[in-house]
Chain A
Amino acid sequence: MIATIAWKNIWRNRTRSLVVVAATTIGLTGAVLVSALSIGMVADRVEVALRDEVSHIQIHHPLFLDNFESQHRVGAPGDLLEKLEALPQVEAVAARSVLTGMVSTAQKAVGVSLIGINPEREKLLTGLWQSLPNSLQLLERGFAPERASAYLADSVGSYFAEPGRSPQILISERLARELKAQVRSRVLVQLLDAQGYMTGGQFRVVGIFSTSNAMFDESQVFVRQSDLVALTGHEPELCHEIALRLTPEHDMAEALADVTALAPGLSVMDWKTLKPDLGLSYEMLDAMLYIMLSIILMALGFGIVNTMLMVVLERVKELGMLMAIGMNKKRIFAMIMLETVGLSLTGGLAGMLLSALLVGYLGQVGVDLSAFGEGLEAVGYSAIVYPRLNWDNYLGITLMVILTGVLASIYPALKALSLKPAEAVRSE
């Protein structure tokens, strides 16, 4: 009954309540939309990083990541790969060797990590093969068709297209610029062989890739595992790293446990451990959302306090009458609090409905931020952002709105309780 009265009381002064509701709706929608945009932006970046750079889980020798020494390898990777592939949550697996070496042309020599891959397997796991632009993408970028094919031939090449020929290497656009190399250029690769002697060989540049991560591009080159083994005399199964992609709806803790069980004595890490900055950006954005909401809700809260004080002042006689006929302090307090929470929650729910619709719609069509952020793409962020928000965020916001209502009701409710019934009911 008290709740019913409180709810009906909200709509006694419809205009005033609607102003408060509108303010809350707009404030919340703004905060939620800005957050959803930044979360969407980061989520896209994280997805790319997961797909092309880290995958979900990596397996190494426990000491390998300390200094990348070639003797810290994963033994019998063939067996392990098969078992890992059989796990229910695993979508794709690939093994790699990672050797430190130098790539040089007549112009320049650059230290790099030589990643020995099985091109076919790697294609199933990472998007490396897609970071070589294809003709369609070039046309979309505005290349004239006749220029596009020339560009593809000279500046893009292909992803280890023709097997069997002389040693092949994929380098990044940045490195190609530094080395003044093109597709079909020959580069010298030097590194230590299986016995620890310096060795070297000619590799032909077959493809030039470009990802959104400058660090990744500058430090890694990709060669076929078979070419690397042939050059260094390592055993064909040489493996330093196994990377796994999980199903989209995976349970990370469970997957980690499964993988660890199959890889005794090896270090198994998820992407958050491997790249703490990626995981951190998610958590930071969550914190940002709640900080922003706190500020907006605080401002709205003061408005609500003001509104409810007006309500109490307007209803002095009515409150006096209620106290006279036997409504105790607890009930008076509850009535004012429920009215305040109801008022803020109405605005809160309207705000969340509106933002859910907006986030849902914009999450489909995307928001083009290229007009505002020329630099976005340079640092790995896409200019088309797809805002998104998790359901637990909506729950968190609801709780914050309720808390705001409760806090905002305290002062007006105490004001109501301080009324003296004998004074309040006097008609003069």
Chain B
Amino acid sequence: MNVIEIENLSKEYQTPAAKVRAVDGVSLRFERGEFAAIVGPSGSGKTTLLNLLGGLDQATAGSIRIAGTDLASLRPGQLIDFRKDNIGFVFQSYNLIPVLTALENVEFVMQLQGRPKAERRARAVELLEAVGLGERLDSRPGQLSGGQQQRVAVARALASKPQFVLADEPTANLDSRSALTLLEIMERLNREEGATFIFSTHDPRVVAKARRVIWLEDGKVVSDKTQEPTI
């Protein structure tokens, strides 16, 4: 079953100089359980595409359907609730609330969903253990390394049991060892929990971990292939 259906999607930015087509007529389908990388040089439209997909921005043309819902049909307030329940986010940085502990950060999204305390706590602990931070539950983001912070962000993104997780260059600020560890954790959660991941990157070693690679150039999909990931 398709989780995401993107139809002829375009996004134009008006700059003083000219119109920029950051995303240009993209059509894509994603199924449940995918582990897909969106790859392309800087300025190719990766962030714009992911922001559209996450309902953070509005398309100029085309449509996005997520689990049957057309994002364009949602009012702003509904869109926020839709994101809360259906989409997990991992950004390049500033993922966490600095004044909360790792555990509280992961619990926070579930609290927004109104889940009971005991359930929240249990799932947050389970997820933090799954990303290898079972010992750092009570650490604040400032006390964690960059790689550890991104792992908390992955746990947080999965906490709400979303349809899929969008990660925009999650390894961009990490050294290569932490980057690979993060990818391995994401890949394992993808297999074990069946979580769908769509992430952007321009790091070839990260690309090698993906099972599907979508190449963007000037806002257009120039290649879309499945591959055997390197272990």
Contact = CB atoms under 8 A, between A and B. Distances in A.
B145 to A, nearest CB: 18
A317 B94 contact: yes
B97 interface: yes
A421 B56 CA distance: 6
Contacts of B91: 317, 321, 324, 425, 427
A326 B100 contact: no
14 contacts: A12-B98, A12-B99, A318-B94, A320-B94, A324-B54, A325-B88, A325-B160, A326-B109, A327-B80, A328-B77, A420-B57, A421-B57, A425-B51, A427-B92
A225 to B, nearest CB: 78
Interface string A313-332: 00001101111111111010
Contacts of A5: 97, 99-100
Interface of B: 47, 51, 54, 56-57, 77, 80-81, 83-85, 88-89, 91-95, 97-100, 108-109, 111-113, 156, 160, 168-169, 172
Contact of B112 (A318, A325, A421): A325
Given A5-B100, A329-B77, A421-B56, A324 B169 contact: no
Contacts of A108: none
A427 B156 CA distance: 19
B94 A321 contact: yes
A1 B56 contact: no
Contacts of A321: 89, 91, 94-95
A12 B99 CA distance: 8
Contacts of A9: 99
A422 interface: yes
Interface residues of A, number: 24
A327 B77 CA distance: 10
B49 to A, nearest CB: 11
Nearest to A324: B89
Interface centre among B56, B88, B113, B172 (most CB of A within 10 A): B56
B81 A326 contact: yes
Interface string A287-330: 00000000000000000000000000000011011111111110
A68 B37 CA distance: 102
Contacts of A328: 77, 80-81
A326 B83 contact: yes
Contacts of B156: 325
Interface string A75-115: 00000000000000000000000000000000000000000
Contacts of A324: 54, 56, 83, 89, 91
Contacts of B95: 321
Nearest to A321: B94
A327 B100 CA distance: 15
A322 B89 CA distance: 10
A16 interface: no
A422 B92 CA distance: 13
